Structure 1
Amino acid sequence: MTFVQEPSQPLRVAVVGTGQIARFAHLPAVRSVGAQLELVAAVDVDESVAKEFATSFGAGAAFTDVATMLDAVRPDLVLVCTPPAWHAEVVVATVRAGAWAFCEKPPTASLAELDRIAAAEAAGGGRAEFVFQWRTGSAAEHVRRLIADGTLGRALVAMVSTTWYRDAAYYEAPWRGRWETEIGGATAGQGIHAIDLLLSLLGPWRTVTAVADTLERAIEVEDTSMAIVRFESGALASLVTSVLCPREDSAVRIDLQDATVELRQHSGDGSGWTVVPRPGLGDDRLAAAGPVPHDVPASHGSQLRRLVDDLRAGRAPATGVGQVRPTVELLAALYKSAASGRPVRAGEIGPDDPYYASMHGGRGTVSTG
């Protein structure tokens, strides 16, 4: 069962993990939804931090244990803002308690953990939605329709780059840069935004061939990766991810038969989409594509508002386990390809594969070198 209240009453919201992502992304999202949500609890392993958060942001009671909070407060919705290694544990507990989870990226540390969440949902109770806010907003939805409808022809080539900069101080946080706690490096932590957006636009992928390495930072995980992905549609895509780039940029470019659609941004609000037609494309075809709208930005708030609507209406979450599994599987396959030096097929990584249980496949390395 779920603990959803009547539509006239706010949904009771708990925050698990009270670090920067909770304070600077999830709390503004909660505020943007307004009176439909009420903060009732904060959980952090550091009791003083949990109490400070609860007091500063009006989050009600403070806890150091998720199970105790779920039993005492019985929230409707839990914002999962812990380091990645604890995502699955918190989400499974939340779902089993009958609440919904809104979980930060990367969704889980492995395909095995994601399947464990699916099993918890199937047993009855709550549901999980995963934060991939770049999928949201009016611009991304418009581009997704253009591609799905074939308005500008089929996709042929795509290029995705996440070239950001994270200095050595960034990795001083004890959970960053380690397989055990961050579960991956630049690809899983930074590149995943653009990679997931691409998959949501182009559909099922078929194979991935990748290289990954730690070129500069003193960390266990990769600071750079490159990959070639072939999609079931036949389209080819290149993925470049690095945290060693002083001039920061993000780009998702898709060359269709009749136009190039491209997103360039670093803010993440989806306002940088453009459409460039091929030479000679008729005005009627271009008019059919329409201007790219930017009235609703891509944001945590946009995704959270949609989640609240789905929860209220009893609908399945739009970015649930089934929708994000291709992204988690591609991450695992990318790491496997980088370590093995060969292409990896979709569906290849099953329960008997070491990359099913962890992104490093038990090797603790990111490359064949």
Structure 2
Amino acid sequence: MLGSRKLRAAVIGTGGIAQQSHVPALKSAADEVEVVAAVDVDADRLARFQATNLIETGYRDVAEMLTSEKPDLVHVCTPPAAHVAPVEQCLRAGAWVLVEKPACLSLAEFDRIAAAETEGGAYASIVCQHRFGSAGRHAAELLSSGELGRPLVADCRTTWYRGHDYYEVPWRGKWRTEGGGPTMGHGIHQMDLLLALLGDWAEIRAMAARLDRDVETEDVSVASVRFESGAVASIVNSVLSPRQESYIRIDCTDATVELTHLYGYGNEDWRYTPAEHVTDPARIGRWRTPPGQERSSHAAQLERVLDAMRDGRRPPASGADARRTMELVTGLYRSALTGTSVRRADLTAEDPFYHDLHGEVPDWAPTREGAEA
């Protein structure tokens, strides 16, 4: 669609995630992409980002950048509450978008993004980098093909540690600006990968608590999920865990597949254990030999977005594919804050949680002091 010329890219929001993850991804695609501009409301931060990354042109205003630069692709790296408006602006200007997770603070906002897309592009892809490592794609293929047997039981844990100082950043730990706690901001990575491996979910039952951090949101959540396939899974999301780990385990009729890592995985982080009745070494060897050596990363996802741009098709981690993860997060909060089981089909526009993950539920959990009393 774009011939042989390089794509023109811009970055909106020049804080830590832009520098740590999006810039390396763009550099990895330097043969195809040229970063022509950066945007930030903070002039000093913008200037530092430009100087560090040799980006000549900077803007304080998204609309001005879109009019002047006409980018093909925009990376949106602002804090969560400031995602939707620039994503809509970019899409309506004809620019494709890679937006940092979480893409928005509610299903209502997600549907605003979808409404701004155009058939055949521009589209918005949400950062879900753990889907795109070689070993993750291989595991998804094995599971979907039935090579590992029928999925039965799964365990999905994001047990990370974020100290009190982490929440000194003003927008963190607040419903209106971060959307939620570790469920929304941290565990969403592993939950998205779990869905990529197991498919559609059907029902969720959850609890959330605010046990130690001085925040409005939860600092830990636990859930039980039933999938359309009949498989069941347990989920834990925490920022209170000194020994940090990201972990997924899926027990199937013919094998157990496990992933243990922290912020990104390689092939060596996956393990396959055959059931006693599976003895064919060639079959087991196929499980343990992913094609390729690609680590999960923003760069791995960007490569697939660029492929989709060239073909004029919807990129992965967009549309209904990405909405499913936001539905699971919404269902978890709705279940935890109302004490009820939630079916995926319950999450309609008439539900308060469609519009707000807090659901305007008063006094949903004890304060830290109350929990300690």
Q: Distance in 2 between matches of 1:127 and 1:60?
A: 27
1:91-144 deviation line (CA, Å, top 9, x unaligned) = 111100000000011121110111111111147861101110000011011100
CA separation in 1, counterparts of 2:322 and 2:36?
A: 28
Three-state SS of the structure 1 residue aligned to 2:152 is strand
| Aligned-residue CA RMSD (Å) | 1.7
List runs of 5+ in structure 1 lacking aligned partners. Answer: none
Closer, same or farther: CA 366–97 of 1 in aligned 2, 3 Å: farther
Deviations 1:201-244 (A, max 9, x none): 11110100000011000001111000000000000000001000
Q: Which amino acid aligns with 1:276?
A: T
Aligned counterparts of 2:49 and 2:364: Cα–Cα separation in 1 = 37
Could you tell me how far apart the structure 1 residues matched to 2:283 and 2:265 are? 27
Aligned pair 1:192/2:188, yes or no? yes
1:264 equivalent in alignment to 2:260:
yes
1:127 counterpart letter in structure 2: Y
Instruction: Name the structure 2 match of 1:94.
Output: 90
Q: Once the 2 structures are TM-superposed, how far is the Cα of residue 45 of structure 1 from its aligned partner?
A: 1.2
What CA distance in whole angstroms lies between the structure 2 residues aligned with 1:152 and 1:201? 12
CA distance in 2, matches of 1:310, 1:366: 42
Count of aligned pairs:
365
1:346 aligns with 2:348: no
Q: SS at 1:267's partner residue?
A: coil
Q: Distance in 2 between matches of 1:344 and 1:102?
A: 30
Is contact 1:339–1:368 with CA below 8 Å preserved after alignment?
no
Give the conservation status (yes or no) of the 8 Å contact 1:147–1:153: yes
SS across alignment from 1:234:
coil
CA distance in 2, matches of 1:158, 1:182: 28
1:198-213 equivalences under 5 Å are 198-213=194-209
Tell me if the contact between 1:274 and 1:292 (Cα under 8 Å) persists in the aligned partners.
no
CA distance change for structure 1 residues 88 and 48 in 2, over 3 Å: closer, same or farther? same
1:363 paired residue among 361, 366, 370: 361
2:103 is aligned with 1:110: no
Match of 2:308 among 302, 307, 310: 310
| Higher mean displacement: 61-70 or 328-337 | 61-70
* Deviation at residue 90 of structure 1 after TM alignment: 1.4
Aligned mate of 1:281, from 257, 278, 283:
278
* Structure 2 counterparts to residues 58-137 of structure 1, below 5 A: 58-122=54-118, 126-137=122-133
Q: Who is 1:161 aligned against?
A: 157
Deviation, structure 1 residue 280: 2.9
- Report sequence identity in percent: 47
Q: Name the aligned partner's letter for residue 29 of structure 1.
A: A
The answer on 1:324 being equivalent to 2:333 is no
Report the residue type matching 1:258 in the other structure: D
- Cα shift readout 1:226-268 (whole Å, capped 9, x = no counterpart): 0000000000000001000111011000001010000000131
Query: Is residue 271–residue 288 contact of structure 2 (8 Å, CA) maintained in 1?
Result: no
Residue in structure 1 matched with residue 134 of structure 2 by the alignment: 138
Q: In 2, distance between residues paired with 1:320 and 1:145? A: 19
Partner SS for 2:31 = helix
Q: Which amino acid aligns with 1:194?
A: Q
Which sits farther off after the overlay, 62-71 or 93-102?
A: 62-71
Deviation at 1:366, TM superposition (A): 4.9
Rounded Cα–Cα distance in structure 1 between residues aligned with 2:317 and 2:178: 22
How much does 1:368 deviate?
8.6
Partner Cα separation in structure 2 for residue 196 and residue 70 of structure 1: 31
Q: CA deviation at 1:309?
A: 1.6
Consecutive unaligned residues in structure 2, runs of 5 or more: 368-373
1:43 is aligned to 39
| Equivalent-residue separation in structure 2 for 1:177 and 1:345 (angstroms) | 27
DSSP-derived class of the 2:117 partner: helix
TM-score (norm 2): 0.94
- In structure 2, distance between residues paired with 1:350 and 1:330: 13
Deviation of 1:55 (Å): 2.5
Report the equivalent of 2:218: 222
Q: 1:307 to 1:124 in 2, by over 3 A?
A: closer
Q: CA offsets, 1:297-352, max 9 Å, x none?
A: 11100111111121112121111122111110111111010011010000211111
Deviation larger for 117-126 or 309-318: 117-126
User: What is the DSSP-based 3-state SS (H/G/I as helix, E as strand, rest coil) of the residue aligned with 1:98?
Assistant: coil
| SS in structure 2 at match of 1:12 | strand
Asked if structure 2 preserves the Cα contact closer than 8 Å seen for 1:220 and 1:364, the reply is no
User: Distance between the aligned counterparts of 2:135 and 2:119, measured in 1?
Assistant: 36
